Structure 1
Amino acid sequence: MHINFPLLLVIAVGVTGLLALLDRIWLAPRRRRAVAAYQAGAGTVDPDTLEKLNREPLLVEYGKSFFPVLAVVLILRSFLVEPFQIPSGSMKPTLAVGDFILVNKFSYGIRLPVLETKIIPIGDPQRGDVMVFRYPNDPRINFIKRVVGLPGDHIAYRDKRLFVNGEPVQRELLRTVQDDEVPAGHPLQALAKAEIYLEQLGAATHEARYKNMSQTPPPREWVVPEGHYFMVGDNRDNSNDSRYWTAPGMPTELWGMVPDNYIVGKAFAVWMHWPEPKLRNLPSFTRVGLID
């Protein structure tokens, strides 16, 4: 079950705001009139009675207390910055499972909460950006990948190599490490390695990970439609992304390219690492920094 948190937040702001408005224009004046009438007609004013007449209903008190807090959260989350946690290793080594990241919500334009309609265009995704977006097959789920293809681009993937508009993405082998995604006890665990490359995508220089024992997929090519983006994970052999897109009507399940109205924002920083949020396992801040 997926909880639509933005919708719940909008509803909460609306309900608490309505309670605050109701108190301001109707309930509070009525309380003041009751207090004035009691003071004018009573010979001796009883403090307890006076307090009771002037007391806000409990629901109104809570509504007035929570409204400004919820409103600030809604504004920050919808238009400025939203936090996310990385649940999978598809963006290794750039992002690890348990990284808590911050996403800029206005880099690609101001959008209405819930409706996700762009109302103020500011900028567009650039090749190399790390972007959070709603999964094309299930918009209730958020994904994070790197922008490889822009509208109109020709993308190819062959021999584990990305090509953009006919040119191979420039890369340089940095190091070879043990493949930590192979289960312990696997007969080939000792032989499984991962090669870490430094790649250049647009203005972004980042690391990408390739498994030496994974199968090489058949070569494929795509043309990115207008208003869409081709997204790929940095963990190239362990990422479901736009490379697994097929033409509409084909029996294979679509992953899909990402339409503009599914964009959430640009990931720009890691602020905490906490793979298992439990008291016995405290968070770490060693991975804090900007996202390349």
Structure 2
Amino acid sequence: MKNWVRANKGFVAFLLLFGLFRTAVADWNPIPTASMRPNLLEGDVVFVNRLAFNVKVPLTDVVLARTGEPQRGDVVTFSSPTDGTRLIKRVLALPGDVVEMRNEHLIINGQRANYVQTGEVMESMGDGKSVPAQRVTETIGERHQQIQLLPSIMARRDFSPITIPPDKFMMLGDNRDNSADSRYIGLVPRKLLIGRAVRVLVSADIEGNWMPRGDRFGKKLGAQPQ
């Protein structure tokens, strides 16, 4: 083994540097579930900027320095506060915000978000089952994003006002009625943030023989300005 390492030290060094790069600087994240439809689809692979918020000791949640602050509407990756699973959701409430949800409508600091339905599709739920899905533009302040609602299934569509403590964030999935987000796992501490998802790198139709979805390559993420 020592002889192999000595003979391939350049390759070993490359692997070590590549691993350090992925754990400390930038990464890519496959999308395995439907929780961020319609903006992210299963089979997308997104580019994640790990230096967007923190510099961390590689392979840990130890923060060495802060490099930026999450903004409302950012799509971010983070470790679940319940079991450490890597998740990807949208930042909807920031430290100091007072947020509540009434019949699926967000109210942040006393201001109700605006919702405009833009269409309806059939959403696959697996096992050959489909349900109607409403596509909606959600506008909060000066930014908006597309979300999806599934009125026919059971979901948590209401919660009482909560004040977001310092260094914590409320994360919601864009597929609001099919997302294990802060309504279920709680608020996300800042130290568990991994990075900001910037854009879709590549995408493949996992239900269509893994054919490339070229129209999704390079798609930018994050809320859009008005």
TM-score (norm 2): 0.87
Contact 1:127 1:202 survives alignment (8 Å): no
Please provide the CA RMSD for this pair: 2.4
Q: Percent identity?
A: 28
Q: Of 124, 134, 149, which aligns to 1:195? A: 134
Q: Which residue of 2 aligns with 1:214?
A: 153
The alpha-carbon deviation at position 240 of structure 1 amounts to 1.0
Instruction: Report the CA distance between 1:215 and its aligned residue.
Output: 4.0
- Could you report, residue by residue, the CA deviation over 1:210-239 in whole angstroms, capped at 9, with x for unpaired residues? 113234646312222211110000000111
1:71-119 Cα shifts (integer Å, max 9, x gaps): 3313421333101100100000010011111001111122121122222
Equivalent-residue separation in structure 2 for 1:127 and 1:133 (angstroms)? 15
Q: Structure 1 stretch 127-136 or stretch 163-172: which is displaced more?
A: 163-172
Q: Cα gap change, 1:128/1:65 in structure 2, threshold over 3 Å: closer, same or farther? A: same
Q: Residue 26 of structure 2 aligns with which residue?
A: 81
Q: Which has the higher contact order (CA 8 A, sep 6+)?
A: 2
4+ residue segments displaced more than 6 Å: none
Match of 2:169 in 1: 229
Q: CA deviation at 1:59?
A: 3.0
Residue 60 (structure 1) aligns with? 6
Count of residues in correspondence between the two structures = 220
The DSSP-based 3-state class of the residue aligned with 2:183 is helix
Partner of 1:249: none
Instruction: Give SS of 1:88's match.
Output: coil
1:287 to 208, 213, 216: 216
Pair 290,218 (structure 1): closer, same or farther in 2 beyond 3 Å: closer
Please state which structure has a larger fraction of its residues in strand.
2
2:36 corresponds to 1:118: no
Question: CA 1:182 to 1:58, structure 2 compared with 1: closer, same or farther past 3 Å?
Answer: closer
2:52 is the alignment partner of 1:107: yes
Structure-1 residue corresponding to 2:95: 151
Unaligned runs of 5+ in 1: 1-15, 20-56, 245-254
**Equivalent residue in structure 2 for 1:133, among 63, 75, 78:** 78
Deviation at 1:260, TM superposition (A): 0.9
Give 1 or 2 for the bigger CA radius of gyration. Answer: 1
Task: Within 5 Å, give how 1:25-36 maps onto structure 2.
Answer: none
Structure 2: unaligned runs, 5 residues or longer: none
Cα distance per residue 1:30-87 (max 9 Å; x no partner): xxxxxxxxxxxxxxxxxxxxxxxxxxx333223x122331233134213331011001
**SS in structure 1 opposite 2:24?**
helix
